[in-house]
Amino acid sequence: MKRFDNKVVLVTGAGAGIGRAAAEKFAAEGAKVVCNSVDESARPTAEQLAAAEAEAIFIQGNIANEDDVRRMVDMAVDTYGRIDVLINNAGIVRGGTVENTTVSDFRLTMDINVIGTFLMSQYTVPYMLKQGGGVIVNTASVAGLKGHTNRISYAASKGAVIALTKSMATELCGKNIRVNCVCPGTTLTPSLKDRINASPDPEATMAEFCARQPIGRLGDPSEIAEAILFAACDQAAYMTGASIIIDGGMTM
């Protein structure tokens, strides 16, 4: 018996990095996986899972657009009949300080990272209530706990995701819906690799990133995905409103 046999899991931002790793691990644990991305990037994820004889579909949509969210959630339920687990993973990172961050970048970050998480939850919760329960796991960040230089909009958004997690957990605790979040440290996702490779000295930039981690290296998306699966599994049924820190010791 696998941990997610016959469970339907919707993963936003499933095209790369943590989202793709989570989709793959859920499928390996028996889940039917709905893979979402704002572009076509999650289509190969769903196709790869289906080729491996897992049940998976791709649904394109922008989590910050209410009409897209309504359509995505309805399509997932129309296909599989329910949503047992919602993984709010999609997000963006914009650099910038309080002095040079543009209002448009700040708003875009909040729209995707916070309002997107809120909308996906708002449209999924009624189905979870109707079916008798469910689990929501949000991808936050240690940036929402301690702040990061040159990441003011990102840190603010992830702090909001942590607060949103706790508020939803409080509201839904008596309705058999658990809500938790994971707070990754610096993780070597494709987007981070691109930023490192685009720097004037990629080797020095990588060394600088690693030096910030007491454990001496960056996280792997699969490690963060393991924390997501734990937060979502029935074996963690006593946990709600929690923020799982997985950061190589950055917040010690």
- Give one DSSP letter per residue of 120-135, joined into a string: HHHHHHHHHHHHT-EE
Q: For residue 243, which of 196, 199, 202, 182 has the smallest C-alpha distance?
A: 182
Residue 154 designated active-site: yes
Alpha-carbon dihedral of residues 69, 72, 73, 76, nearest 10 degrees? -170
- Give one DSSP letter per residue of 65-78, joined into a string: -HHHHHHHHHHHHH
Task: Give the full edge-to-edge strand order of the sheet including 8-11.
Answer: 56-60, 32-37, 8-11, 85-88, 134-139, 177-184, 243-246
Tell me the H-state helices in the chain.
17-28, 43-51, 66-80, 103-110, 116-131, 143-146, 152-172, 190-197, 202-211, 221-232
Alpha-carbon dihedral of residues 222, 225, 227, 229, nearest 10 degrees? -130
Among 80, 123, 127, 154, the one annotated catalytic: 154
Active site amino acids: 154
